[in-house]
Structure 1
Amino acid sequence: MMFEKQNFTDVLKEDISNNISKDCSVNFLSYSVNHNYTVIIEQQKYFCRIYRPHKESRKSIEAEFDFINFLNQNSVKAAAPVGFSSNDIIREVKLSNNVYHYAFFNFIEGDIVLKDKWDLHFINLWGKTLGKFHACSKKYRSPSAQDRRPWNELEWSSVTQLVKNISNLTTDQKTILLKEWEQSIYFFNQLPTSEDYFGLVHYDFHTGNLIKTNSDLIIIDFDDCCRHWFGWDFAMPLHRLSNGHMSNTNLELKNEFIKAYKAETSLPEEIEKNLKVFERIRHLFMLSWLSMRKNEDKWKNIFPNYLKFHIKYLEAFPKLLV
């Protein structure tokens, strides 16, 4: 059975009951790339993630947790992994003859800030949170950082073939997309990789991965955390702030986000002047990412509109490279 169709409720409850506490309940929460559950153990609520097989090794997950703990130790608030003994922070369950890693995290009680609440105060907090996160990442020196994959191993190698296989693209459109992808790789290969430019990024820094609690934003879901240019973490916020258009819509909010970020850490000129390029490349990558999952229930209704959107802006990208 495909991973997205699996139901882990029973095996999770069995493992928790046998090894942690019989006073527990397990409830399915969501599926994206991983399976997510809420678990209550002795009246304490936790978030539980079942890792997609072959996506992350145990060593890579350990590196994710080391980085999260470093962030929390340096005043960047992030949902922390939880262990019930010294050696069980990453657990395993078996289902259909496969072994899956899973882990618990602190369950953050708070709110995801919806778009109609994105005022200047929230945008400032969002930008500051990213700035603090990147400032901390620039100081992170643990050897385990090398156990998180580099940007070009996160399904990027398959983009060319995926574009060729999108059936409702014309030959000319495929040619333009493939050229765009070549330009993207060239763009990255010209960027510096010094600590002010390149390090561990969140990779998916949208408001769905930020929980508002009183005056703080708590960062969650570091599953895709990887080694990349810091400009990548701007792509999703700026995309959302422009209402998904390659334009200057909501320029005041974008400027506030960048100003708040720069109050916490430096933003090299070469990154700042190319933020729209990062935004555009992320959109191209998401198109290919969705095309791999276009038949899954969660994504099949999203892909057609996403494809139409991308085609509409195909001509914009070459003009962004400066």
Structure 2
Amino acid sequence: MQNEILDTQTLYLLAESAMKQYEPQYQGTLKLLCQSENATFVIYTSHSKYALRIHRPNYHSKENINSELLWLEALNNEGISVPEPIANQNNEYVLTLCCAPNIERHAVLFHWVQGDMPTTDVDPQAFKQLGSITAQLHQHSKMWKRPEQFNRIVWNHETMIGSEGHWGNWASVNSLTATDKMVIQETVSQIGHQLNQLDKSPQYYGLIHADLRLTNLLLKNNQVGVIDFDDCGLSWFMHDLAAALSFNEHLPNAPEWVDQWLNGYEKNAHISQLEYALIPSFIMQRRIQMLAWTGSHAYTEMTKSLGNEWVNETIRLCKQYLKSDNAMPLGAA
């Protein structure tokens, strides 16, 4: 179980106990900003504001979270605008909070990253910026020597869309018919076959953000900030392109978004011909990964808002992918 089971009142009590562990300058008024996977609070002080993240249960260990913070520190040192963690009065960056004998949560406080969040309604040029900053992250990932104690989640074919995937099993989605499941299973097999062409050499595979969508991009003047590294882990670099389209692969503008992302990426890094050829498989893999997520998050407002039509569009994209040799699963019908 990776979903938060605590009620809002208990989360506020945890946030209060966390805040009290920091220097007085970081203590102020708490407000719950969002509760999706993790619970994120804003702390308002007289001079600034900060983001307090309380982690979901049974997803990341303290070692995993510390590893995320090590990458953030390295990125900040290179001048890339990402969240900067704050140590508590005991010089700890990852707090462990207890609210009952068998209930504990990890928490991290971050400096606030300034900027406005773009949406899919904006000019497709936003995807060009997204591709550009993603390439910078990948370049850093390829050059950075990870510390010995570094340990992050692995995103591969099995952990994304296998029956024991990190975000659930796509076959658990209630609205899928037997025919739908056959189509998806054939798609899963085809994706696996295609991606077997890529090995795990540093050219193709390394540390990535893994959820770098427009909702995790902040724009301010000419500065681009990247937030929410909670899912960062080891995977193929082109998974970040697929993640950029999350939930929206079926929309009319999706082909142009991909083109813009690729244009932005190529300004800072190179994509091999093999990776280009496998982009359809990465996109389809991500779509099915998000389908699995909706199955394990059927109670959430996000899943309810998608409705059965989104599932139907997923089946259509699977058929589009299968009908010709690795066809691009993008765009409206």
Partner Cα separation in structure 2 for residue 252 and residue 300 of structure 1:
27
> Pick from 28, 44, 52: which aligns with 1:24?
28
Superimposed CA distance per residue, residues 75-116 of structure 1 (whole angstroms, 9 cap, x where no aligned partner): 322112122346321112212431100001111221012334
Using the TM superposition, give the Cα deviation of residue 18 of structure 1 relative to its aligned residue in structure 2, in angstroms.
5.6
Partner Cα separation in structure 2 for residue 179 and residue 211 of structure 1:
38
1:186 aligns with 2:193: yes
Which runs of no fewer than 5 residues in structure 2 stay unpaired? 328-333
Superimposed CA distance per residue, residues 18-72 of structure 1 (whole angstroms, 9 cap, x where no aligned partner): 6543942211110121111111356431111111111000100011010111112
1:219 aligns with 2:223: no
Query: 2:83 maps to what in 1?
Result: 79
Query: 2:181 maps to what in 1?
Result: 174
- Alpha-carbon contact 1:28-1:37 (below 8 Å) kept: yes
Query: 1:13 maps to what in 2?
Result: 16
Superimposed CA distance per residue, residues 265-300 of structure 1 (whole angstroms, 9 cap, x where no aligned partner): 121111112212211110011001111110234433
Structure 1 pair 298–263 and aligned structure 2 pair: CA distance change class (3 A): closer
Partner Cα separation in structure 1 for residue 302 and residue 257 of structure 2:
30
1:36 aligns with 2:40: yes
Partner Cα separation in structure 1 for residue 133 and residue 92 of structure 2:
30
Partner Cα separation in structure 1 for residue 326 and residue 149 of structure 2:
30
Query: 2:330 maps to what in 1?
Result: none
* Comparing 66-75 and 283-292, the one that deviates more: 66-75
TM-score by length of structure 2 reads 0.85
Which runs of no fewer than 5 residues in structure 1 stay unpaired? none
Q: Kindly provide the amino acid, as one letter, of the partner of residue 37 in structure 2.
A: V
- Alpha-carbon contact 1:159-1:285 (below 8 Å) kept: no
- Alpha-carbon contact 2:94-2:107 (below 8 Å) kept: yes
Q: Kindly provide the amino acid, as one letter, of the partner of residue 107 in structure 1.
A: W
> Pick from 105, 114, 117: which aligns with 2:110?
105
Partner Cα separation in structure 1 for residue 181 and residue 254 of structure 2:
31
Partner Cα separation in structure 2 for residue 282 and residue 229 of structure 1:
12
Query: 2:143 maps to what in 1?
Result: 139
Alignment of 1:1-322 (within 5 A): 3-7=4-8, 8-17=11-20, 20-21=23-24, 23-41=27-45, 43-85=47-89, 87-97=91-101, 98-120=103-125, 122-143=126-147, 146-152=150-156, 154=159, 156-158=161-163, 162-238=169-245, 244-245=249-250, 249=253, 251=255, 253-318=257-322, 319-321=324-326
Using the TM superposition, give the Cα deviation of residue 11 of structure 1 relative to its aligned residue in structure 2, in angstroms.
2.5
- Alpha-carbon contact 2:162-2:169 (below 8 Å) kept: no
The alignment covers a number of residue pairs equal to 318
- Alpha-carbon contact 1:200-1:228 (below 8 Å) kept: yes
SS in 2 for 1:302: helix
Larger helix share, 1 or 2:
1
Identity %: 22
SS in 1 for 2:304: coil
Using the TM superposition, give the Cα deviation of residue 146 of structure 1 relative to its aligned residue in structure 2, in angstroms.
5.0
Superimposed CA distance per residue, residues 204-223 of structure 1 (whole angstroms, 9 cap, x where no aligned partner): 11110001111011000000
- Alpha-carbon contact 1:231-1:275 (below 8 Å) kept: yes
Partner Cα separation in structure 1 for residue 283 and residue 270 of structure 2:
19
Superimposed CA distance per residue, residues 103-148 of structure 1 (whole angstroms, 9 cap, x where no aligned partner): 011112210123343253x343222111111111111221358501
SS in 2 for 1:273: helix
